[in-house]
Amino acid sequence: MARICRIHKARYLDSVFLMEVTRRLQAEPGITQGAVVMGTPANLKLLLSLGFPEQDLKEAGPDDLVVAGEGEPQALQKALTKVESWLSGERRGEAQAPKTLIQALALNPKANLAVISLPGRYAGKEARRALERGLNVFLFSSNVPLEEEVALKRLAQEKGLIVMGPDCGTAIIAGVGIGFANAVRRGPVGVVAASGTGAQEFTTLMHKAGLGISHVIGVGSHDLSDAVGGISTLCALAALEADPGTQVITLIAKPPSSTVLGLLRERMNKLSKPVVACFLGLIPPEIARALGGRLALTLDEAVVKTLGVLGAPCPSFLASYEASPAKLARTERPPLAPSQRYVRGLFAGGTFCYQAQLLFHWAGIPFRSNAPLLPQYALPDPWRSEGHALVDLGDEAFTEGRAHPMIDPTLRYERILQEAEDPEVAVLLLDFILGHNASVDPVGELLPALAKAQEKVTQRGGHLAVVASVCGVEGDAQGYGSQVEKLRAVGAHVLPTQAQAAGLALSLTQGRHEQ
């Protein structure tokens, strides 16, 4: 068996394209492992964990392309030759696509929105060009400097435009999904979201409850900070108030600072339409007092309260959302070995990781996370779990230079196998997110890892419980029902919402953390 690493200095290629090349390399005969990635710290750490020698990777930097393969020597040489042709060859249909903003506007001069997905260090410049040409901006890119975000949003405000982002994963404008969005029906509920996966969960649950969405306006994860001051959020609230198809507005975000809360409260009190505020976090008393009955603490509760404002009935899967996980745990407690006591949550959605942390915190169960709710919950090494661990694999530390885990399952696949090596692991808590631009088969891609992990634990006399939620609707290309059935076929417990899944994971290990 041979291993080869090739480094192409100062050669940047899109992470989604590189994921396609990686899949083709891994499918070649005689290849046991393969990766084509940018040389970011996260990617290099992954390659090291796969057994590629450190000395072969030490010259690689974030702007360099790394091609790594393992396999039979002759097959490996042939496969790497093919990789070079795949990397240098043009993809079909791209020759006719516009390469610049100017070219795109020439093809569609009536456009009023630019979607930007570039490495953070380049994205701000392109966003400014779009704003200067009168375009609203959906800024998917992360790692955009905060001072640049503020400058872009102030420029947009001056021009009567809006910047959705940076780090904006989801929007739905007049029924058209942008980024990661689901095929939900149109209806009377408008959403302003600092969280992409939070918006997806809320909109899909609202769809399943029989209602629909007018618009989802994403604002980016930093918009409600003191530094930004909620510029895009305030613009979005005004836009939804002016929209005749919106009857109620739901705001989804982490709790704002007291200064930004004051601005929000003032604007919300002046709106002619009711607002439900879902603030996922530890709520200071002043926020609870200011918002009263308009405040929701979980995404499930946000759906229930929004339905209440509209006078719509609450569906059965939400009517008892707090009690159902504990009831299920009493009837289906897995046959765990005495040493098994911990939950390992491996999340593609950052909001889902954060919401799970809240449930653990409220239950008084200590845990660790790479994106901690409080400093004392910080995971010392994001690449290695300890105790109850809730890991956001979509965090910037993992995604720089590679596709998001909603697109590329590689990191989560490897992490599932890694968690199975720990004899204290009892439950894997997973989220699967469907919709536009997400993986074509998010469950199917991880089933081999789940099967291997369960077999490993069974061989040493234990049982690995898998608890999951699937965020999506039947109209999504992946098919909600088929994804759920694939999970149930391997014995997974699939809950209607992520909050319920986290509740079941807690209930299955109730009391065992103290052993």
The per-residue pLDDT for 150 is: 97
Average pLDDT over residues 104-117: 90
Q: What is the pLDDT of residues 249-263, one digit of tens each?
A: 999 998 888 889 888
Question: CA separation (Å) from 17 to 38, 444, 447?
Answer: 11, 20, 23
SS (H, E, C) 432-451: EECCCCCCCCHHHHHHHHHH
Tokens 């339905």 belong to residue: 307
Q: What is the pLDDT of residues 13-60, one digit of tens each?
A: 777 678 778 878 988 999 988 889 888 887 888 888 888 999 999 999
Q: What is the pLDDT of residues 359-387, one digit of tens each?
A: 999 999 999 999 999 999 999 999 999 99
Helix residue spans in 133-230 (DSSP H): 146-159, 196-208
Average pLDDT over residues 290-304: 90
Q: How many CB atoms lie within 10 A of CB 227?
A: 12
Cβ 165 vs Cβ 189: under 8 Å: no
Report the distance separating Cα 197 and Cα 195, nearest Å: 6
The backbone torsions φ and ψ at residue 116, rounded to the nearest 5 degrees and listed phi first, read: -120, 125
Three-class secondary structure of residue 394 per DSSP:
coil
* Peptide bond before residue 166 is cis, with ω within 30 degrees of 0: yes
Percent of the chain with pLDDT over 90: 68
| pTM score | 0.84
Three-class secondary structure of residue 310 per DSSP:
helix
Helices 324-331, 498-508: axis angle to 10 degrees equals 40
Cβ within 8 Å of residue 234, ≥6 positions away: 263, 264, 267
The per-residue pLDDT for 337 is: 86
Average pLDDT over residues 464-476: 96
513: pLDDT strictly greater than 70: no
The per-residue pLDDT for 91 is: 46
Fold of the domain spanning 324-514: Rossmann fold (3.40.50)
How do the domains of the chain map onto residue ranges?
A: 2-88, 101-319, 324-514
CATH homologous superfamily of 101-319 equals: Succinyl-CoA synthetase domains (3.40.50.261)
Identity of the residue numbered 416? I
Q: Do domains 101-319 and 324-514 have the same CATH topology?
A: yes
Q: What is the pLDDT of residues 424-457, one digit of tens each?
A: 999 999 999 999 989 889 999 999 999 999 999 9
Report the distance separating Cα 328 and Cα 487, nearest Å: 17
Q: Copy the structure tokens of residue 210.
A: 């029989």
489-502 as b/e, with b when 16 or more CB fall inside 10 Å? eeebbbbbbbbbbb
Question: CA separation (Å) from 32 to 2, 20, 74, 419?
Answer: 10, 17, 13, 21
pLDDT band of residue 95 (cuts 50, 70, 90) is very low
Report the distance separating Cα 216 and Cα 199, nearest Å: 7
Three-class secondary structure of residue 19 per DSSP:
helix
The per-residue pLDDT for 308 is: 95
130: pLDDT strictly greater than 80: yes
Report the distance separating Cα 470 and Cα 60, nearest Å: 37
The backbone torsions φ and ψ at residue 22, rounded to the nearest 5 degrees and listed phi first, read: -60, -45
Q: Just give the CATH number of 2-88.
A: 3.30.70
134: pLDDT strictly greater than 90: yes
β-sheet with 136-139: strand ranges across: 113-116, 136-139, 163-164
The per-residue pLDDT for 286 is: 77
